Amino acid sequence: MSQELHALFSQLELSLPFVKPSSTTLACEDPSSGAVVGHLAQDDKPSTLVKIDAAARSFAALREVPAPVRGAIVRAMGERLREHKQALAQLVCAEVGKGIEEARGEVQEMIDICDYAVGLSRMIGGKTLPSERPDHRMFEQWLPLGPVLCISAFNFPVAVWSWNAAIALICGDPVIWKPSLHAPLSAIAVHGLLQPLLASAGHGDAMQLVIGPDDTVAKTLVDDVRVPLVSATGSCAMGRAVAPRVAARLGRTLLELGGNNAVIVDATADLELAVRAVAFGAAGTAGQRCTTTRRLFVERSIAAALTDKLVAAYAQLSERVGDPRDAGNLIGPLIDASAVGRFSAMVAHAKRLGATVLAGGSSIHDGELGAGHYVLPTLIRVPDSLDLDADFAPMQTETFAPILYLRSFPNGDLARAISWQNSVEQGLSSALFSDSSRAIERFWSPAGSDCGIANVNIGTSGAEIGGAFGGEKATGGGREAGSDAWKAYMRRQTCTINGGETLPLAQGISWSST
Protein backbone atom coordinates (compact mmCIF):
# COMPACT_ATOMS: atom_id res chain seq x y z
CA MET A 1 0.00 0.00 0.00
CA SER A 2 2.91 2.36 0.63
CA GLN A 3 3.59 2.47 -3.11
CA GLU A 4 -0.08 3.25 -3.73
CA LEU A 5 0.05 6.12 -1.24
CA HIS A 6 3.17 7.55 -2.84
CA ALA A 7 1.40 7.48 -6.21
CA LEU A 8 -1.71 9.23 -4.83
CA PHE A 9 0.29 11.96 -3.13
CA SER A 10 2.22 12.41 -6.36
CA GLN A 11 -1.07 12.91 -8.24
CA LEU A 12 -1.93 15.58 -5.67
CA GLU A 13 1.46 17.20 -6.26
CA LEU A 14 2.37 16.54 -2.63
CA SER A 15 5.03 14.49 -0.91
CA LEU A 16 4.04 11.60 1.32
CA PRO A 17 5.38 12.72 4.74
CA PHE A 18 6.42 9.35 6.16
CA VAL A 19 9.36 9.40 8.58
CA LYS A 20 11.49 6.81 10.31
CA PRO A 21 9.59 5.11 13.15
CA SER A 22 10.37 6.12 16.71
CA SER A 23 8.71 6.22 20.12
CA THR A 24 6.95 9.48 19.22
CA THR A 25 5.78 8.75 15.67
CA LEU A 26 2.28 7.69 14.64
CA ALA A 27 1.89 4.32 12.92
CA CYS A 28 -0.53 4.40 9.96
CA GLU A 29 -2.41 1.13 9.43
CA ASP A 30 -4.24 -0.13 6.36
CA PRO A 31 -7.56 -1.52 7.68
CA SER A 32 -7.94 -3.64 4.56
CA SER A 33 -4.82 -5.63 5.36
CA GLY A 34 -4.01 -4.83 8.98
CA ALA A 35 -0.49 -3.83 7.96
CA VAL A 36 1.39 -0.75 9.15
CA VAL A 37 2.25 1.19 5.99
CA GLY A 38 4.30 4.03 7.44
CA HIS A 39 4.92 6.46 10.29
CA LEU A 40 4.20 10.17 10.72
CA ALA A 41 5.72 12.82 12.94
CA GLN A 42 3.30 14.10 15.58
CA ASP A 43 2.75 17.44 17.21
CA ASP A 44 3.50 17.91 20.89
CA LYS A 45 2.32 20.58 23.31
CA PRO A 46 4.90 23.24 22.29
CA SER A 47 4.23 22.87 18.55
CA THR A 48 0.48 22.87 19.21
CA LEU A 49 0.73 26.16 21.10
CA VAL A 50 2.70 27.66 18.21
CA LYS A 51 -0.09 26.73 15.78
CA ILE A 52 -2.80 28.10 18.07
CA ASP A 53 -0.86 31.34 18.35
CA ALA A 54 -0.52 31.59 14.56
CA ALA A 55 -4.26 31.03 14.08
CA ALA A 56 -5.11 33.60 16.77
CA ARG A 57 -2.85 36.21 15.16
CA SER A 58 -4.31 35.54 11.71
CA PHE A 59 -7.80 36.32 13.01
CA ALA A 60 -6.98 40.03 13.33
CA ALA A 61 -6.55 40.31 9.56
CA LEU A 62 -9.08 37.72 8.36
CA ARG A 63 -12.00 39.29 10.23
CA GLU A 64 -11.43 42.58 8.37
CA VAL A 65 -11.75 40.93 4.94
CA PRO A 66 -15.24 41.42 3.43
CA ALA A 67 -17.27 38.21 3.57
CA PRO A 68 -17.70 37.98 -0.24
CA VAL A 69 -13.92 38.21 -0.62
CA ARG A 70 -13.52 35.40 1.89
CA GLY A 71 -16.12 33.55 -0.18
CA ALA A 72 -13.92 33.89 -3.25
CA ILE A 73 -11.14 32.05 -1.41
CA VAL A 74 -13.56 29.25 -0.52
CA ARG A 75 -14.69 29.12 -4.14
CA ALA A 76 -11.07 28.51 -5.17
CA MET A 77 -10.90 25.77 -2.56
CA GLY A 78 -13.90 24.05 -4.12
CA GLU A 79 -12.34 24.23 -7.56
CA ARG A 80 -9.09 22.74 -6.25
CA LEU A 81 -11.07 19.86 -4.75
CA ARG A 82 -12.89 19.28 -8.04
CA GLU A 83 -9.56 18.97 -9.83
CA HIS A 84 -8.37 16.28 -7.45
CA LYS A 85 -11.63 14.49 -6.59
CA GLN A 86 -10.63 11.04 -7.79
CA ALA A 87 -7.21 10.97 -6.11
CA LEU A 88 -8.66 12.23 -2.83
CA ALA A 89 -11.42 9.61 -2.98
CA GLN A 90 -8.84 6.88 -3.55
CA LEU A 91 -6.87 8.13 -0.56
CA VAL A 92 -9.93 8.13 1.73
CA CYS A 93 -10.78 4.65 0.48
CA ALA A 94 -7.29 3.32 1.14
CA GLU A 95 -6.82 4.97 4.54
CA VAL A 96 -10.12 4.21 6.31
CA GLY A 97 -11.52 1.36 4.21
CA LYS A 98 -14.54 3.26 2.92
CA GLY A 99 -15.91 1.91 -0.38
CA ILE A 100 -14.66 3.87 -3.37
CA GLU A 101 -18.15 5.00 -4.36
CA GLU A 102 -18.85 6.32 -0.86
CA ALA A 103 -15.40 7.92 -0.78
CA ARG A 104 -16.20 9.83 -3.98
CA GLY A 105 -19.40 10.97 -2.33
CA GLU A 106 -17.46 12.23 0.67
CA VAL A 107 -15.16 14.34 -1.49
CA GLN A 108 -18.23 15.63 -3.33
CA GLU A 109 -19.60 16.77 0.03
CA MET A 110 -16.53 18.96 0.44
CA ILE A 111 -17.12 20.46 -2.99
CA ASP A 112 -20.82 20.98 -2.28
CA ILE A 113 -20.24 22.76 1.04
CA CYS A 114 -17.72 25.07 -0.62
CA ASP A 115 -20.34 25.98 -3.24
CA TYR A 116 -22.91 26.53 -0.50
CA ALA A 117 -20.56 28.68 1.56
CA VAL A 118 -19.73 30.90 -1.42
CA GLY A 119 -23.39 31.83 -1.80
CA LEU A 120 -23.78 32.21 1.95
CA SER A 121 -20.89 34.69 2.04
CA ARG A 122 -23.21 37.25 0.38
CA MET A 123 -26.22 36.46 2.56
CA ILE A 124 -25.18 36.28 6.22
CA GLY A 125 -26.57 39.20 8.17
CA GLY A 126 -28.87 40.36 10.91
CA LYS A 127 -32.32 41.88 11.25
CA THR A 128 -33.59 45.41 11.57
CA LEU A 129 -35.88 45.45 14.61
CA PRO A 130 -38.61 47.91 15.62
CA SER A 131 -37.69 50.23 18.47
CA GLU A 132 -40.25 51.45 20.97
CA ARG A 133 -38.39 54.77 21.23
CA PRO A 134 -38.96 57.58 18.70
CA ASP A 135 -36.11 58.36 16.28
CA HIS A 136 -34.27 55.17 17.24
CA ARG A 137 -33.15 52.35 14.94
CA MET A 138 -32.34 48.95 16.36
CA PHE A 139 -30.64 46.14 14.46
CA GLU A 140 -28.46 43.10 15.00
CA GLN A 141 -25.27 42.16 13.23
CA TRP A 142 -23.17 39.01 13.14
CA LEU A 143 -19.42 39.33 13.53
CA PRO A 144 -16.51 36.86 13.26
CA LEU A 145 -15.97 34.81 16.40
CA GLY A 146 -12.31 33.71 16.34
CA PRO A 147 -10.29 30.55 15.73
CA VAL A 148 -12.44 27.42 15.47
CA LEU A 149 -11.10 24.02 16.50
CA CYS A 150 -12.47 21.13 14.43
CA ILE A 151 -11.92 17.65 15.87
CA SER A 152 -12.95 15.14 13.19
CA ALA A 153 -13.58 11.39 13.28
CA PHE A 154 -12.18 8.62 11.09
CA ASN A 155 -15.47 7.59 9.47
CA PHE A 156 -15.77 10.89 7.58
CA PRO A 157 -12.13 11.92 7.54
CA VAL A 158 -12.55 14.99 5.32
CA ALA A 159 -16.22 15.87 4.80
CA VAL A 160 -17.08 16.86 8.36
CA TRP A 161 -14.00 19.09 8.56
CA SER A 162 -15.14 20.84 5.38
CA TRP A 163 -18.62 21.47 6.84
CA ASN A 164 -16.90 23.43 9.58
CA ALA A 165 -14.03 24.95 7.63
CA ALA A 166 -15.95 26.32 4.64
CA ILE A 167 -18.56 28.00 6.85
CA ALA A 168 -16.04 29.21 9.44
CA LEU A 169 -13.82 30.80 6.80
CA ILE A 170 -16.61 32.76 5.12
CA CYS A 171 -17.62 33.91 8.62
CA GLY A 172 -14.08 35.25 9.14
CA ASP A 173 -12.78 32.56 11.49
CA PRO A 174 -9.44 30.74 11.19
CA VAL A 175 -9.68 26.94 11.45
CA ILE A 176 -7.51 24.54 13.44
CA TRP A 177 -7.98 20.91 12.40
CA LYS A 178 -7.24 17.94 14.63
CA PRO A 179 -8.05 14.84 12.57
CA SER A 180 -8.56 11.32 13.86
CA LEU A 181 -5.31 9.45 14.36
CA HIS A 182 -6.87 6.74 12.16
CA ALA A 183 -7.05 9.19 9.25
CA PRO A 184 -4.13 11.63 9.26
CA LEU A 185 -3.11 11.13 5.63
CA SER A 186 -6.42 12.33 4.20
CA ALA A 187 -6.17 15.42 6.41
CA ILE A 188 -2.57 16.07 5.34
CA ALA A 189 -3.57 15.83 1.68
CA VAL A 190 -6.57 18.16 1.97
CA HIS A 191 -4.58 20.65 4.04
CA GLY A 192 -1.72 20.49 1.55
CA LEU A 193 -4.06 21.23 -1.35
CA LEU A 194 -6.06 24.05 0.24
CA GLN A 195 -3.81 25.92 2.66
CA PRO A 196 -1.70 27.41 -0.18
CA LEU A 197 -4.85 29.11 -1.50
CA LEU A 198 -5.25 30.96 1.79
CA ALA A 199 -1.52 31.68 1.83
CA SER A 200 -1.66 33.23 -1.64
CA ALA A 201 -4.39 35.55 -0.34
CA GLY A 202 -2.20 36.53 2.61
CA HIS A 203 -3.96 34.40 5.22
CA GLY A 204 -1.94 31.20 5.30
CA ASP A 205 -1.96 30.94 9.09
CA ALA A 206 -5.77 30.86 9.09
CA MET A 207 -5.66 27.13 8.32
CA GLN A 208 -3.75 24.94 10.79
CA LEU A 209 -3.34 21.17 10.98
CA VAL A 210 -2.44 19.51 14.29
CA ILE A 211 -1.77 15.76 14.48
CA GLY A 212 -1.08 14.26 17.88
CA PRO A 213 -2.31 12.24 20.86
CA ASP A 214 -5.35 13.19 22.90
CA ASP A 215 -3.63 13.27 26.27
CA THR A 216 -1.37 16.14 25.24
CA VAL A 217 -2.37 17.72 21.96
CA ALA A 218 -6.16 17.50 22.21
CA LYS A 219 -6.20 18.77 25.79
CA THR A 220 -3.96 21.68 24.86
CA LEU A 221 -6.29 22.65 22.02
CA VAL A 222 -9.52 22.21 23.95
CA ASP A 223 -8.31 24.17 26.98
CA ASP A 224 -6.96 27.23 25.14
CA VAL A 225 -9.01 30.38 25.70
CA ARG A 226 -7.90 31.72 22.31
CA VAL A 227 -10.17 29.09 20.70
CA PRO A 228 -13.73 30.31 21.35
CA LEU A 229 -15.48 27.43 19.55
CA VAL A 230 -14.67 23.71 19.67
CA SER A 231 -16.51 21.66 17.06
CA ALA A 232 -16.03 17.99 17.93
CA THR A 233 -17.30 14.91 16.11
CA GLY A 234 -16.97 11.53 17.79
CA SER A 235 -18.43 9.29 20.45
CA CYS A 236 -20.68 10.36 23.30
CA ALA A 237 -17.82 9.52 25.67
CA MET A 238 -15.56 11.92 23.80
CA GLY A 239 -18.18 14.65 24.02
CA ARG A 240 -18.55 14.12 27.75
CA ALA A 241 -14.81 14.64 28.10
CA VAL A 242 -14.58 17.69 25.82
CA ALA A 243 -17.68 19.65 26.83
CA PRO A 244 -16.84 20.21 30.53
CA ARG A 245 -13.31 21.33 29.72
CA VAL A 246 -14.57 23.95 27.27
CA ALA A 247 -17.40 24.98 29.57
CA ALA A 248 -14.93 25.48 32.43
CA ARG A 249 -13.37 28.34 30.46
CA LEU A 250 -16.82 29.53 29.25
CA GLY A 251 -16.09 28.57 25.65
CA ARG A 252 -18.59 27.25 23.13
CA THR A 253 -18.96 23.69 21.85
CA LEU A 254 -20.60 22.32 18.74
CA LEU A 255 -20.92 18.58 19.37
CA GLU A 256 -21.80 15.90 16.83
CA LEU A 257 -21.69 12.68 18.83
CA GLY A 258 -23.20 9.20 18.69
CA GLY A 259 -26.30 7.97 16.94
CA ASN A 260 -28.30 4.83 17.80
CA ASN A 261 -30.71 5.34 14.95
CA ALA A 262 -33.99 3.58 14.28
CA VAL A 263 -36.28 2.92 11.33
CA ILE A 264 -39.99 2.26 11.85
CA VAL A 265 -41.92 0.39 9.14
CA ASP A 266 -45.71 0.26 9.36
CA ALA A 267 -48.22 -1.89 7.50
CA THR A 268 -48.83 0.69 4.77
CA ALA A 269 -45.17 0.98 3.78
CA ASP A 270 -43.60 0.17 0.43
CA LEU A 271 -41.51 -2.82 1.55
CA GLU A 272 -39.14 -2.79 -1.42
CA LEU A 273 -38.33 0.85 -0.73
CA ALA A 274 -37.84 0.12 2.96
CA VAL A 275 -35.52 -2.83 2.34
CA ARG A 276 -33.22 -0.83 0.07
CA ALA A 277 -33.02 2.04 2.55
CA VAL A 278 -32.49 -0.18 5.58
CA ALA A 279 -29.80 -2.27 3.88
CA PHE A 280 -27.78 0.80 2.92
CA GLY A 281 -28.40 2.52 6.24
CA ALA A 282 -27.33 -0.51 8.26
CA ALA A 283 -24.44 -1.86 6.17
CA GLY A 284 -23.08 1.19 4.32
CA THR A 285 -19.61 2.27 5.47
CA ALA A 286 -19.55 -1.10 7.30
CA GLY A 287 -21.93 0.35 9.89
CA GLN A 288 -19.45 3.07 10.82
CA ARG A 289 -21.61 6.16 10.29
CA CYS A 290 -23.12 8.18 13.09
CA THR A 291 -26.36 7.93 11.08
CA THR A 292 -26.13 4.14 10.60
CA THR A 293 -29.45 2.31 11.05
CA ARG A 294 -28.99 0.14 14.15
CA ARG A 295 -32.59 -0.63 15.18
CA LEU A 296 -35.58 -1.66 13.06
CA PHE A 297 -39.15 -1.71 14.39
CA VAL A 298 -41.66 -3.42 12.08
CA GLU A 299 -45.43 -3.67 12.44
CA ARG A 300 -46.24 -7.29 13.30
CA SER A 301 -48.54 -7.94 10.34
CA ILE A 302 -45.70 -7.35 7.86
CA ALA A 303 -42.75 -8.43 9.99
CA ALA A 304 -42.37 -11.86 8.40
CA ALA A 305 -42.51 -10.50 4.85
CA LEU A 306 -40.03 -7.73 5.53
CA THR A 307 -37.69 -10.06 7.42
CA ASP A 308 -37.58 -12.48 4.48
CA LYS A 309 -36.69 -9.66 2.10
CA LEU A 310 -33.97 -8.39 4.42
CA VAL A 311 -32.44 -11.83 4.86
CA ALA A 312 -32.24 -12.16 1.08
CA ALA A 313 -30.69 -8.68 0.78
CA TYR A 314 -28.12 -9.49 3.47
CA ALA A 315 -27.15 -12.69 1.66
CA GLN A 316 -26.28 -10.59 -1.38
CA LEU A 317 -24.42 -8.02 0.72
CA SER A 318 -22.31 -10.73 2.35
CA GLU A 319 -20.97 -11.65 -1.08
CA ARG A 320 -19.80 -8.07 -1.61
CA VAL A 321 -17.54 -7.65 1.42
CA GLY A 322 -13.93 -7.02 0.49
CA ASP A 323 -11.23 -4.62 -0.63
CA PRO A 324 -12.94 -1.20 -0.79
CA ARG A 325 -10.81 -0.19 -3.77
CA ASP A 326 -12.80 -2.70 -5.85
CA ALA A 327 -15.99 -0.97 -6.97
CA GLY A 328 -17.71 -4.37 -7.01
CA ASN A 329 -17.51 -4.50 -3.22
CA LEU A 330 -20.05 -2.58 -1.16
CA ILE A 331 -18.67 -3.20 2.33
CA GLY A 332 -15.08 -2.63 3.38
CA PRO A 333 -13.33 -3.33 6.68
CA LEU A 334 -13.89 -1.98 10.15
CA ILE A 335 -11.29 0.56 11.17
CA ASP A 336 -9.15 -1.67 13.41
CA ALA A 337 -8.94 -4.94 15.31
CA SER A 338 -10.57 -3.44 18.40
CA ALA A 339 -13.67 -2.64 16.36
CA VAL A 340 -13.86 -6.27 15.24
CA GLY A 341 -13.58 -7.35 18.86
CA ARG A 342 -16.47 -5.08 19.90
CA PHE A 343 -18.58 -6.42 17.03
CA SER A 344 -17.97 -10.06 18.03
CA ALA A 345 -18.60 -9.36 21.71
CA MET A 346 -21.92 -7.64 21.02
CA VAL A 347 -23.17 -10.41 18.73
CA ALA A 348 -22.31 -12.98 21.41
CA HIS A 349 -24.06 -10.85 24.06
CA ALA A 350 -27.23 -10.62 21.97
CA LYS A 351 -27.29 -14.37 21.45
CA ARG A 352 -26.87 -15.04 25.17
CA LEU A 353 -29.93 -12.86 25.81
CA GLY A 354 -32.05 -14.96 23.46
CA ALA A 355 -31.79 -13.07 20.16
CA THR A 356 -31.41 -14.93 16.87
CA VAL A 357 -28.81 -14.14 14.23
CA LEU A 358 -30.63 -14.20 10.89
CA ALA A 359 -27.67 -13.13 8.74
CA GLY A 360 -23.96 -12.60 9.24
CA GLY A 361 -22.79 -12.57 12.82
CA SER A 362 -19.14 -13.36 12.31
CA SER A 363 -15.83 -11.82 11.34
CA ILE A 364 -13.99 -12.93 8.23
CA HIS A 365 -10.82 -14.69 9.26
CA ASP A 366 -7.34 -14.62 7.79
CA GLY A 367 -7.06 -16.55 4.57
CA GLU A 368 -10.39 -15.37 3.19
CA LEU A 369 -9.64 -11.64 2.96
CA GLY A 370 -6.11 -11.55 4.31
CA ALA A 371 -5.55 -9.96 7.70
CA GLY A 372 -7.99 -7.08 7.21
CA HIS A 373 -10.63 -6.10 9.74
CA TYR A 374 -13.68 -7.51 7.94
CA VAL A 375 -17.02 -8.63 9.40
CA LEU A 376 -20.23 -9.77 7.79
CA PRO A 377 -23.25 -7.43 7.82
CA THR A 378 -25.41 -8.80 10.60
CA LEU A 379 -29.17 -8.98 11.12
CA ILE A 380 -30.41 -9.98 14.58
CA ARG A 381 -34.03 -10.67 15.49
CA VAL A 382 -35.05 -9.73 19.00
CA PRO A 383 -37.89 -11.90 20.39
CA ASP A 384 -41.16 -10.15 21.19
CA SER A 385 -40.96 -11.66 24.67
CA LEU A 386 -37.97 -9.53 25.64
CA ASP A 387 -38.42 -6.18 27.36
CA LEU A 388 -36.22 -3.85 25.33
CA ASP A 389 -35.27 -1.65 28.28
CA ALA A 390 -34.81 -4.27 30.97
CA ASP A 391 -33.86 -7.42 29.05
CA PHE A 392 -31.96 -6.36 25.95
CA ALA A 393 -29.12 -3.95 26.65
CA PRO A 394 -27.49 -4.35 23.18
CA MET A 395 -30.21 -2.17 21.67
CA GLN A 396 -29.20 0.62 24.04
CA THR A 397 -25.59 0.42 22.85
CA GLU A 398 -24.16 2.06 19.75
CA THR A 399 -21.77 -0.57 18.39
CA PHE A 400 -19.86 1.03 15.54
CA ALA A 401 -20.29 -1.96 13.23
CA PRO A 402 -22.90 -3.36 10.80
CA ILE A 403 -25.29 -4.86 13.37
CA LEU A 404 -29.03 -4.31 12.87
CA TYR A 405 -31.56 -5.38 15.52
CA LEU A 406 -35.09 -6.18 14.30
CA ARG A 407 -38.13 -6.19 16.58
CA SER A 408 -41.84 -6.22 15.73
CA PHE A 409 -44.39 -3.92 17.35
CA PRO A 410 -48.11 -4.61 17.89
CA ASN A 411 -50.42 -3.90 14.97
CA GLY A 412 -51.71 -0.35 15.01
CA ASP A 413 -49.45 0.71 17.88
CA LEU A 414 -47.20 3.30 16.22
CA ALA A 415 -46.91 5.11 19.54
CA ARG A 416 -45.15 2.04 20.98
CA ALA A 417 -42.64 2.00 18.12
CA ILE A 418 -41.93 5.73 18.49
CA SER A 419 -41.45 5.24 22.23
CA TRP A 420 -38.92 2.47 21.56
CA GLN A 421 -37.17 4.63 19.00
CA ASN A 422 -36.85 7.48 21.51
CA SER A 423 -35.77 5.26 24.41
CA VAL A 424 -32.01 5.49 23.75
CA GLU A 425 -29.74 8.27 24.99
CA GLN A 426 -28.82 9.49 21.51
CA GLY A 427 -31.12 11.50 19.26
CA LEU A 428 -29.49 11.89 15.86
CA SER A 429 -31.42 10.32 12.97
CA SER A 430 -34.74 8.52 12.57
CA ALA A 431 -36.98 7.34 9.75
CA LEU A 432 -40.52 6.17 9.19
CA PHE A 433 -41.67 4.15 6.20
CA SER A 434 -45.39 4.67 5.75
CA ASP A 435 -48.00 5.77 3.23
CA SER A 436 -50.36 6.89 6.00
CA SER A 437 -50.61 10.66 6.37
CA ARG A 438 -51.80 10.21 9.95
CA ALA A 439 -48.75 8.12 10.82
CA ILE A 440 -46.42 10.60 9.16
CA GLU A 441 -47.90 13.55 11.01
CA ARG A 442 -47.72 11.60 14.27
CA PHE A 443 -44.03 10.87 13.60
CA TRP A 444 -43.36 14.57 13.02
CA SER A 445 -45.50 15.81 15.94
CA PRO A 446 -44.13 17.08 19.27
CA ALA A 447 -44.86 13.59 20.63
CA GLY A 448 -43.06 11.94 17.71
CA SER A 449 -39.40 11.48 16.88
CA ASP A 450 -37.05 13.22 19.33
CA CYS A 451 -34.15 13.22 16.86
CA GLY A 452 -32.50 16.07 15.01
CA ILE A 453 -33.25 14.30 11.72
CA ALA A 454 -36.68 12.77 11.05
CA ASN A 455 -37.09 11.27 7.57
CA VAL A 456 -40.10 9.72 5.89
CA ASN A 457 -39.69 7.04 3.22
CA ILE A 458 -35.93 7.51 3.12
CA GLY A 459 -33.40 5.98 5.49
CA THR A 460 -31.48 7.37 8.43
CA SER A 461 -28.17 7.59 6.61
CA GLY A 462 -27.10 10.26 4.15
CA ALA A 463 -27.78 13.98 4.42
CA GLU A 464 -27.69 16.92 2.03
CA ILE A 465 -25.51 19.86 3.00
CA GLY A 466 -28.36 22.37 2.60
CA GLY A 467 -30.00 21.22 5.82
CA ALA A 468 -28.59 21.67 9.29
CA PHE A 469 -27.05 18.39 10.43
CA GLY A 470 -27.05 17.27 14.05
CA GLY A 471 -28.99 15.68 16.87
CA GLU A 472 -30.42 15.99 20.36
CA LYS A 473 -29.80 14.46 23.80
CA ALA A 474 -26.42 12.68 24.05
CA THR A 475 -25.78 13.38 20.38
CA GLY A 476 -24.77 16.83 21.58
CA GLY A 477 -27.27 19.28 20.15
CA GLY A 478 -24.90 20.81 17.59
CA ARG A 479 -25.79 21.77 14.03
CA GLU A 480 -23.40 21.89 11.08
CA ALA A 481 -23.54 22.54 7.32
CA GLY A 482 -26.69 24.26 6.00
CA SER A 483 -29.73 26.26 7.10
CA ASP A 484 -28.65 28.73 9.83
CA ALA A 485 -25.81 26.57 11.20
CA TRP A 486 -23.47 29.44 10.27
CA LYS A 487 -24.60 31.30 13.38
CA ALA A 488 -22.55 28.97 15.58
CA TYR A 489 -19.38 30.41 14.04
CA MET A 490 -20.22 34.07 14.71
CA ARG A 491 -21.06 36.38 17.58
CA ARG A 492 -24.31 38.33 17.62
CA GLN A 493 -24.34 42.04 18.42
CA THR A 494 -27.47 44.12 19.04
CA CYS A 495 -27.04 47.77 18.02
CA THR A 496 -29.24 50.82 18.59
CA ILE A 497 -28.74 54.34 17.26
CA ASN A 498 -30.56 57.44 18.42
CA GLY A 499 -31.19 59.80 15.53
CA GLY A 500 -33.12 62.36 17.55
CA GLU A 501 -32.28 65.21 19.90
CA THR A 502 -33.90 63.78 23.03
CA LEU A 503 -33.06 60.72 25.14
CA PRO A 504 -36.23 58.67 25.70
CA LEU A 505 -35.65 55.59 27.86
CA ALA A 506 -36.95 52.09 27.22
CA GLN A 507 -40.01 50.84 29.10
CA GLY A 508 -41.17 54.45 29.41
CA ILE A 509 -38.87 55.14 32.35
CA SER A 510 -38.62 58.78 33.37
CA TRP A 511 -35.29 59.60 35.03
CA SER A 512 -33.50 62.89 35.28
CA SER A 513 -30.77 64.32 37.50
CA THR A 514 -32.17 67.85 37.12
Task: Say which residues have a Cβ less than 8 Å from residue 244's Cβ, sequence separation at least 6.
Answer: none
Are 417 and 252 in contact by the 8 Å Cβ rule? The answer is no
Distance CA 330, CA 456 (A): 25
* 3-class DSSP assignment, residue 485: helix
- For 57-81, give one letter per residue: b (16+ CB within 10 A) or e: ebbeebbebebeebbebbbbbbebb
CB atoms within 10 A of CB 444: 13
CA atoms within 13 Å, Cβ hemisphere of 299: 19
Any idea what DSSP says for residue 361?
A: -
Helix axis angle, 2-11 relative to 85-96, nearest 10°? 160
Distance CA 298, CA 263 (A): 8
C-alpha angle 291/292/293, rounded to 5°?
115
CB atoms within 10 A of CB 446: 5
Of 121, 189, 229, the C-alpha closest to 480 is 229
DSSP sequence for 184-223: HHHHHHHHHHHHHHHHHTT-GGGEEE----IIIIIHHHHH
Any idea what DSSP says for residue 364?
A: P
Query: Is 132 considered catalytic here?
Result: no
Of 256, 299, 398, 480, the catalytic one is: 256
Catalytic residue list: 256
